[in-house]
Every structure is written in structure tokens, then in C-alpha cells.
Amino acid sequence: MTKTEKLVALTHAVRGTFNRLKMLTEQLHSDIEITTAMRAVMETLSSSGAMTVPQIAKAKGVTRQHIQLLADALCGAGLASVKENPAHKRSSLITLTEKGRRAFAKMSAREAPVIAEIAQAFGTDELDRAADILERLSGHLDEVLAGREA
């Protein structure tokens, strides 16, 4: 198998893994009205604090428009709020509300034992290597995307 074929196989595995993670998240949280995409934005806001829509989009590797829809949904559900951005008058900050922080904490608590169970199937070095490879792949994809925008 060539390096190109191996990369294609890796991308297929990543897509399949992403879809299974999405299905697992949907199963774990079927009783709450938070989509997996909304959960991903909540995770970013929980770990990074208040951010603008463009900042969230860049961090997630998706379009600003996609994040705007999710931010609007989170704000509509009372899980996030918009606040003034002292650094930029036209680009407000999105932040989790107390309700949003509680909801994210509840989801994280549900996920923790499942993540711990799955983690048992792998060695620490394997997980470190997989994370490193995926981070490097993301970096190369960012470079390709930036080159296509120019």
C-alpha cells in the first residue's frame, strides 16, 4: 500500500470514528435537546471561555455561518449568551450561561465512565501517538486550505 493509499484509509477511519462518536453522544444524551454540534461548541466555550463566532469556527475547523447557527440555538435555549467584546465592537463574545455550564457538566459526567472504559483498550503511548498524528494531519490540512484561499 502506498503512502497515499494509507492516508486515504486513515481518512476513512477518522470519518467512521467521528460518526460512531456522534452516535454514542446522541445515545448518551437522547433525553436532552442538545445536538452533538451544540455540545462541541459548549465544550470549546467550557475549556476556552468566551469567544467570538469566528474564533470558535477557526478552533473547530468549520465555517463561521455554521457556528453562528449553533450559537443562536445555544442562546435561544438559554445555554449561552452574547456579551460585548471590548476588543471588537462588531464581533460579540459568546459565553456559556450558568444553565449551559450545568448542562455541559452533566453531559461530561455521563461521558466520563464510557470514555474510561474505551481508554482501557489502548496503551498510553498508543493514545499519545494517535493524538499526535491527528494533530499533525489537521495542521497539514490547515496549510492546504490556507493555500487554496490565497
pLDDT digits (tens, 9 = 90+) for 7-31: 999 999 999 999 999 999 999 999 9
**pLDDT number for residue 128:** 97
**pLDDT number for residue 91:** 84
**pLDDT number for residue 42:** 97
Spell out the CATH class of 3-119: mainly alpha
Burial of 70 (0-12, 13-18, 19+ CB in 10 A): buried
pLDDT over 80 (residue 78): yes
What would the mean pLDDT of 44-57 be, rounded to a whole number? 95
What would the mean pLDDT of 59-74 be, rounded to a whole number? 95
Taking the chain, what is the end-to-end CA distance rounded to the nearest angstrom?
Answer: 33
Q: To the nearest 10°, the Cα dihedral for 109, 112, 29, 74?
A: 60
* Residue 150 banded pLDDT, cuts 50, 70, 90: low
- Read off φ and ψ for residue 29, nearest 5 degrees: -120, 30
**pLDDT number for residue 1:** 92
pTM of the model: 0.86
Q: Are 81 and 75 in contact (CB under 8 A)?
A: yes
Among the residues of 1-123, which ranges form H helices?
A: 3-28, 36-48, 53-60, 64-76, 98-119
**pLDDT number for residue 148:** 81
What would the mean pLDDT of 28-51 be, rounded to a whole number? 94
Residue 18 DSSP one-character state = H
Q: What is the pLDDT of residues 81-140, one digit of tens each?
A: 999 888 777 789 999 999 999 999 999 999 999 999 999 999 999 999 999 999 999 999
Of the candidates 103, 92, 95, 84, the residue with the CA atom closest to the CA atom of residue 35: 103
